[in-house]
A and B are shown apart, each in its own frame.
Chain A
Amino acid sequence: MYKLLLCWRYLRTRWIALASVISVTLGVATMIVVNAVMAGFSNEMQTRIHGILSDLVFESHSLSGFQDPKWHMEEIERAAGDQIAGMTPTVAVPAMLSFQVRNQWVTRQVMFIGIDPATHAQVSDFGRYLQHPANRQQLSFGLREGGYDTTDSQSPTETPTRPALEHAGWPHRRMRVERERLWKQRLESQAAENGNPTRPVDQQVDAVLAATTAAEQPAPAAATTAADATPAEPASAVMPRQNPFQRARPEPQGRTMDPAKEQFTGIVPGIGLASFRNREGVDQFLTLPGDDVKITFPTAGTPPKAVSDTFTIVDFYESKMSEYDSNFVFVPIDALQRMRGMIDPQTGIPSVNSIQIRLKPEADLNVVRDKLRQVFPADLYAIATWRDKQGPLLSAVDMEMAVLNILLFLIIAVAGFGILAIFFMIVVEKTRDIGILKALGATASGIAGIFLGYGLFLGLVGAGAGLALGLGITWNINQIRQAVEWCTGARVFDPSIYYFFQIPTIVDPATIAWIIVGAVSIAVGSSVLPAVRAARLHAVEALRHE
């Protein structure tokens, strides 16, 4: 009982020892905050990766893909049907996306992905990331009559608004067509005045291309001269199509398409392709739903040939994973299959690149993957889980977290040496008291117990304060960030880099328990040597100590 009493009294009267646990407190608090933020980031990243990738991806090594996805899906169903919740075929090819910003063409390298609007939502969270509420319910590749979100639907209160999307859709398209008509009129009147027509460089290139193609092949009825093409959509009407690469949406025969009332095949590009985020976190759009873009992509077969077509943006896709948002463009799978020549002209059986598979929640990803690998030969098919696909990234994050934890734990270990030194000092200071206790009958283990208990008390106090501080910082990290930004004027957390506006945190009780246990163990461990020294003191010498 005296151990408890003395520990308590020493705790209240020896402030120097409490100073030594400040480093334990800071170490514990830092570890809690860093782990919470890292777990938050990691979780956010995994959610985003998994949001676009289905659980399992079954794909062909070849860009031409494999034939008859229906038969493949039946085989997959037969192999592991009890664990599969949904499947959808996709076609993915590398492509070049071009769109016009004022008079300049912007070209980006993209992954062009054909998806089945009916079934794709079954295998991924794709639908959740679209900007039109109706598309989030059921994706349509038809352009909408406005109603696009002007706030980020995934974090409506924390992000700046996107006023540019207010008129997106048909209103924007009509406005653009009207603007282009007026522009054309002005050009024509200028040309009439000068007697020397001036055309933008791209139109001149398109006109040359059109003339070359027309010379090689008989011009279709719909082909018009370059002069008729609008500045934003100059080539679509003039590029003749050859079989079997028909247009996804054939132009009305015998007339020019009216862009104010009709659209090309709809596509959904990632929002990062169409916009950039400024330092304030406001998205600046280069193009909007309703605008037309050109995409150049390879056909199936060997060697692949490049084909181009015009498409209309119908929505944006925002997974908040910049790798996807600035790289993926989605299109209806049947249109892409037709354009790439992936449909057998005799049988009508299509080919696909991959089959996306969603598993039931209880299913084990790796078990199903291995089952499928046994059925399908590895030289023809690549079967991978979403974790396999992002393996290097996920393991890099895990490694980073482990290293960070080791480094931070060293802070607490350093605190342990502080405790050791201060405890030695206290043992020297208390030598006479130790002699008194021995004279009164305290055993050596009892004396050691006082200092071990004292170490435990200090560890608990330090870790407890660290826990409170760490959780306090974690739960208010965004307010703290704002306060720091307000004080320093510097931006601590740049949303244009991270693609989210709040620092995500996850407090994992098991991690916290480990941190506390570790910190308390270090405190107790550091008091072992001083405790042993105290226990070994000779009673008479201790009593004589001045």
Chain B
Amino acid sequence: MSNPTFSSFASTMLEARQVRKRYTSGSTTLEVLRGVDFALPRGGFTAVVGQSGSGKSTLLHLLGLLDAPDGGEVRLEGRRIDNLPAVERDRLRNTAIGMVFQAYHLLPELTAVENVLTPLLIRHGIWDWFSRRREARREAEELLDRFGLSGRLHHRPRQLSGGEMQRVAIARALITRPRVLLADEPTGNLDEASGAGIIETLGELNRDRGLSIVLVTHDAGIARQARGIVRLSAGRVETVAPAA
């Protein structure tokens, strides 16, 4: 099923065409995505909503190259990316796609600023890193400062609150200057105020920096703050609509 609203090639940042995904466990096969079309316009902010088990997180994993589809294709700026060699996909995850998770997924051994720097540490080798480390560090500190975490630079994740951890995670996703940010239930573990703060931050990033964002959520209230909503149901796209 193609989507007339976001089909323009030139203006599409991230696109899924007829992607399918099934999980097999023993003799049981569970078809999670049954041919989903999805398109995120450049500078768009789309929320993917649906009930638990509707396949929204799986779609996000396919879009973020964390998993490979069983059918269909994923394209970034018109270029097919799901069939690239593993190293290329790793490189794209490190440079073009930023990801934020419900459970924050910070590395517990590293401080806040080190967690933010991790994608750059992955990108650069030892010698390369030594020539860039000051600039990278300054940038990480600026990002954390912008998110109100200037006093928490050297705290470990266990010393931060949920909202703070999620802001560190967003800063980590942004340090690589990605072309698209994929957020998987970023407010799921947060209280209402913190959750609202995170969504506001994402909205600002979209408005002020033109960052293309896919937000997966089951909360209709949060989804309404996006500029478009895709509703999934039983592995298919149910509706596509601009936010109310």
Contact = CB atoms under 8 A, between A and B. Distances in A.
A10 B122 CA distance: 17
Contacts of B107: 6, 433, 436-437
Contact of B110 (A9, A443, A543): A9
B122 A442 contact: yes
A4 B126 contact: yes
A5 interface: yes
A9 B109 contact: yes
B90 interface: yes
Interface string B72-85: 00000000000000
A539 B129 CA distance: 25
Interface string A526-545: 00000000000011100100
Interface in A424-449: 432-433, 435-444, 446
Pick the most buried of A13, A439, A444: most chain B CB atoms within 10 A of its CB: A439
A438 B66 contact: yes
Pick the most buried of A2, A4, A543: most chain B CB atoms within 10 A of its CB: A2
B87 A432 contact: no
Given A436-B105, A440-B93, A539-B66, A446 B122 contact: yes
B125 interface: yes
Main SS class of interface, A = helix
Interface string B109-125: 11000100011011111
Contacts of B17: none
Interface stretch (B3-11, B94-102, B212-220): B94-102
Contacts of B64: 439
A1 interface: yes
Given A1-B129, A439-B105, A443-B90, A539 B67 contact: yes
Nearest to A441: B94
B93 A2 contact: no
By size class, the interface of chain B is 20 to 34
B121 A443 contact: no
B122 A437 contact: yes
Contacts of B119: 440-441
Contacts of B114: 5
Contact of A439 (B66, B91, B123, B125): B66
Contact of B86 (A1, A5, A443): A443
Given A441-B123, A539-B66, A543-B66, A432 B90 contact: no
A540 B122 contact: no
A433 B172 CA distance: 15
A527 B43 CA distance: 45
B76 to A, nearest CB: 14
Interface in A147-206: none
Contacts of B22: none
Given A441-B91, A441-B94, A443-B87, A5 B122 contact: no
B61 interface: yes
Interface string A440-467: 1111101000000000000000000000
Contact of B61 (A432, A442, A443, A540): A540
Interface in B116-149: 118-119, 121-126, 128-129
Contact of A540 (B66, B109, B121): B66
Interface in A233-257: none
Interface string A347-373: 000000000000000000000000000
B210 to A, nearest CB: 23
Contacts of B95: 441
Contacts of B87: 443
A282 B135 CA distance: 75
Contacts of A441: 90-95, 119, 122-123
Contacts of A446: 122
B218 to A, nearest CB: 17
Given A432-B105, A540-B67, A543-B105, A439 B126 contact: no
Contacts of A437: 107, 118, 122
A442 B109 contact: no
A2 B122 contact: yes
Interface in A495-546: 538-540, 543
B122 A439 contact: no
A441 B84 CA distance: 14
A4 B125 CA distance: 10
B118 A440 contact: yes
B129 A439 contact: no
B94 A10 contact: no
B66 A1 contact: no
Contacts of B101: 439, 543
Contact of A5 (B67, B121, B172): B121
A539 B58 CA distance: 12
Contact of A444 (B61, B86, B123): B86
B86 to A, nearest CB: 7
A442 B118 CA distance: 10
Contacts of B172: 440
Pick the most buried of B101, B106, B109: most chain A CB atoms within 10 A of its CB: B109
A435 B91 CA distance: 15
Contacts of A438: 66, 90, 93
Contacts of A4: 126
B51 to A, nearest CB: 19
Pick the 5 closest A-B CB pairs, nearest first.
Answer: A441-B94, A2-B121, A9-B109, A1-B129, A441-B93
Interface of B: 61, 64, 66-67, 86-87, 90-95, 99, 101, 105-110, 114, 118-119, 121-126, 128-129, 172
Given A1-B128, A13-B109, A442-B90, 14 more contacts: A2-B121, A2-B122, A5-B114, A5-B121, A6-B109, A9-B110, A438-B93, A439-B64, A440-B119, A441-B92, A441-B122, A442-B94, A443-B87, A543-B66
23 contacts: A1-B121, A1-B124, A2-B122, A433-B107, A433-B108, A433-B109, A436-B107, A439-B64, A439-B66, A439-B93, A440-B119, A440-B172, A441-B90, A441-B91, A441-B93, A441-B94, A441-B123, A442-B90, A442-B94, A442-B122, A443-B87, A540-B66, A543-B66
